[in-house]
Amino acid sequence: MKKKNTTKSKSAAKKIKENRKFIFVIGGVISGVGKGVATSSIGKILQARGFSVTALKIDPYVNVDAGTMNPTEHGEVFVLQDGDETDQDMGNYERFLDTTLTRLNYMTTGRIYQSVIERERNLEYKGKCVQVVPHIPLEAIARIKKAAEKARADIAVIEVGGTVGEYENILFLEAARMMKAAHPDDVAVVMVSYLPTPPKVGEMKTKPTQHATRQAQAAGIQPDVIIARSEFPLDKKRREKLATFCNIGPHQVIAAPDADSIYDIPINFEKDKLSDILLLRLRLNPKKRKSNLEVWKKFVHRIRSLKKQVRIAVVGKYFNTGDFVLSDSYISVIEAIKYSAYEMGKKPVISWLSAVDFENKDKLRELSKYDGILVPGGFGERGIEGKLNVIEYAREHHIPYFGLCYGMQLLVIEYARNVLGLKDANTDEVNPRAKHLVIDVMPDQKQKIKEGHFGGTMRLGSYKAILKKGTIAEGTYGKRKVEERHRHRYEVNPEYIERLEKAGLVFSGTSPDGKLMEIAELPRDKHPFFLGTQFHPEFQARPLKPHPLFTEFIKAAIKREQKKK
Ligand code: GLN
């Protein structure tokens, strides 16, 4: 039996298209050392050498996708163009590589088991005993290859979630081992590890990384490169120590001290010649392709040189977890604000405000010190009344307001309550018994909720919208047809549209059939910027291509800041 499996695994792994290369990124010592950014940065430096690069993430969770996970536990849910609800690292890959990824680029333990079981039920294993090994790693390998093929990538960078030595990701390390064993020249492994400097000891320690390397070796994997994450720069002595005890050359250890901005990382990696090392390891001639990171370097330089600030308040509910404040839950929103501020020559100062605090109306005055207020997407009841108070304050005090998804639905509720006078206006999500459900569940969602089918069933992914002539939305995009990513179950109730419009609210973007309201705004003569989108524009903002709506919001915020002076 064992022999047969080995033969099968080899032949499956053999189908790698000639010249296609794979780099696995694994983690050592602790989680949260920046494996996602390291993966994105590796992709970036190889892209800068003229290769077509794609990136994949393997999450060890049993959840089929990230859509059912709480953002305070898992960070933001990043929605792909095709509607897949994925890990926030996918957002980093798209932003660093300026690319659009598909559901093939994301997998979880749950997703892999689901398809193996489905195939078993369909007799696709032709009567064989289907086993955890090799069939689970083989399924992962098949997906990795398919994703690389679909992206027509020369190089695929694959991030394996978790750290070496834990139970959960062992099957994915096995997938890396199998691929590397079958194609030693086409597969490289990078371990992102952590070197602590205990304050009382005052010395950077390599021992945990040595142990992590042993754990990787026990799984049959020798890292080709170790990225040494640490608070301080790595010195020669520790570099040599790692080389001696981890079976690699000192030049294969990449220093990765904490950086001011994640966008510095590709440049920092190249200081230790990481792309050269990887290309040599993968039998690609580094002399043939010069690195061109100039545009990226200019972008990073620009960030550094900014002096004047623009102050943005993000009012949300997923900020507090125990004694810590988590901004990871809104990472795409935060990055989108940054790109637009950078473009406008300002340093963004982002404050995270907890919505529940504003249930007390006395607190609202604090908002006047900000140049702009943003309410991002969200779910459920907590903090809703606080958010509504914030939106009312922004509208009445002419503070630029940008509402994303829930932030747009709440804009509509606030307008219905305080301008239209429908005092108990609400969303079905919060109070289904309210008399005026100006935000209601979408008809096709009712059945799904009734049957308890919650995973992957929202209105997800990219949809077209048509913009109304002469509106802020149309002027900002500079076109009438746009495509944006969605993630919602509720929508503006068609029964209230006419009344809301009569009261002055403009629905400046709708679905092509005119049925779904995609953008709501107040005309410029009424408010400097009061706009909400049913979609999530943040998912399409890229470092060098900021999103026009975010830029328009930032422009309005800058104007307010200048007026204050
Ligand atoms: N909870 C709202 C809905 O499902 C908004 C979702 C969101 O903000 N992503 O429609």
Provide φ and ψ at 109, rounded to 5°.
Answer: -55, -45
Catalytic site residues? 405, 536, 538
How many whole angstroms from 417 Cα to the centroid of ligand 1?
20
Report the CATH number that the domain containing residue 47 is assigned in CATH. 3.40.50.300
* Residues 395 and 353 both lie in one domain: yes
CA 376 to ligand 1: nearest atom? 8
- For ligand 1, residues with CB inside 6 Å are 377-379, 405-406, 429, 487-490
* Residues 160 and 57 both lie in one domain: yes
* Residues 432 and 344 both lie in one domain: yes
Atom 5 of ligand 1 has which residue's CA nearest to it? 406
* Residues 333 and 273 both lie in one domain: no
- Calpha distance 382→186 (Å, rounded): 50
Token pair, residue 257, equals: 């001290």
CA 377 to ligand 1: nearest atom? 8
How many whole angstroms from 381 Cα to the centroid of ligand 1?
11
* Residues 233 and 276 both lie in one domain: yes
Report the DSSP beta bridge partners of residue 531. 402, 521
Within-domain flag for 10: no
How many whole angstroms from 70 Cα to the centroid of ligand 1?
14
Rounded to two decimals, the pTM is 0.93
* Residues 275 and 333 both lie in one domain: no
Q: Per-residue b/e over 340-376, b at no fewer than 16 CB within 10 Å?
A: bbbbbebbbebebbbbeebeeeeebeebeebbbbbbb
CA 378 to ligand 1: nearest atom? 8
* Residues 417 and 445 both lie in one domain: yes
Within-domain flag for 439: yes
Domains held by the chain: number: 2
* Pocket probe mutation, ligand 1, options 318, 332, 405, 408, max atoms within 8 Å of Cβ: 405
What SS3 string covers 33-83? CCHHHHHHHHHHHHHCCCCCEEEEEEECCCCCCHHHCCHHHHCCEEECCCC
Report the CATH number that the domain containing residue 553 is assigned in CATH. 3.40.50.880
Within-domain flag for 271: yes
How many whole angstroms from 429 Cα to the centroid of ligand 1?
9
* Residues 466 and 555 both lie in one domain: yes
* Residues 51 and 107 both lie in one domain: yes
CA 429 to ligand 1: nearest atom? 1
Within-domain flag for 511: yes
How many whole angstroms from 379 Cα to the centroid of ligand 1?
6
* Residues 317 and 450 both lie in one domain: yes
Task: Answer with the one of 241, 272, 299 that is the final residue of a domain.
Answer: 299
* Residues 80 and 162 both lie in one domain: yes
* Pocket probe mutation, ligand 1, options 318, 379, 463, 491, max atoms within 8 Å of Cβ: 379
Within-domain flag for 55: yes
* Pocket probe mutation, ligand 1, options 76, 489, 517, 535, max atoms within 8 Å of Cβ: 489
Task: Answer with the one of 244, 273, 299 that is the final residue of a domain.
Answer: 299
Task: Answer with the one of 266, 281, 299 that is the final residue of a domain.
Answer: 299
Within-domain flag for 2: no
Within-domain flag for 214: yes
- Which residue has tokens 């953008």? 519
Q: What CA–CA distances, in Å, run from 195 to 25, 48, 255, 403, 473?
A: 17, 28, 10, 41, 48
Token pair, residue 388, equals: 């509504």
Parallel, antiparallel, or unpaired: how do β-strands 53-59 and 187-195 relate?
Answer: unpaired
Could you list the residue range(s) of the whole structural domain that residue 30 is in? 19-299
Long-range pairs for 433-437: beta carbons < 8 A, 24 or more residues apart: 436/496, 437/493
* Residues 210 and 313 both lie in one domain: no
Provide φ and ψ at 22, rounded to 5°.
Answer: -130, 135
How many whole angstroms from 478 Cα to the centroid of ligand 1?
27
Within-domain flag for 374: yes
pLDDT in tens, the chain (565 residues): 344 444 444 444 444 455 899 999 999 999 888 999 999 999 999 999 999 999 999 999 999 989 888 877 778 899 999 999 999 999 999 999 999 999 999 999 999 999 999 999 999 999 999 999 999 999 999 999 999 999 999 999 999 999 999 999 999 999 999 999 999 999 999 999 999 999 998 899 999 999 999 999 999 999 999 999 999 999 999 999 999 999 999 999 999 999 989 999 999 999 999 999 999 999 998 888 888 999 999 999 999 999 999 999 999 876 655 555 556 788 999 999 999 999 999 999 999 999 999 999 999 999 999 999 999 999 998 899 999 999 999 999 999 999 999 999 999 999 999 999 999 999 999 999 999 999 999 888 888 888 888 888 899 999 999 999 999 999 999 999 999 999 999 999 999 999 999 999 999 999 999 999 999 999 999 999 999 999 999 999 999 999 999 999 999 999 998 887 7
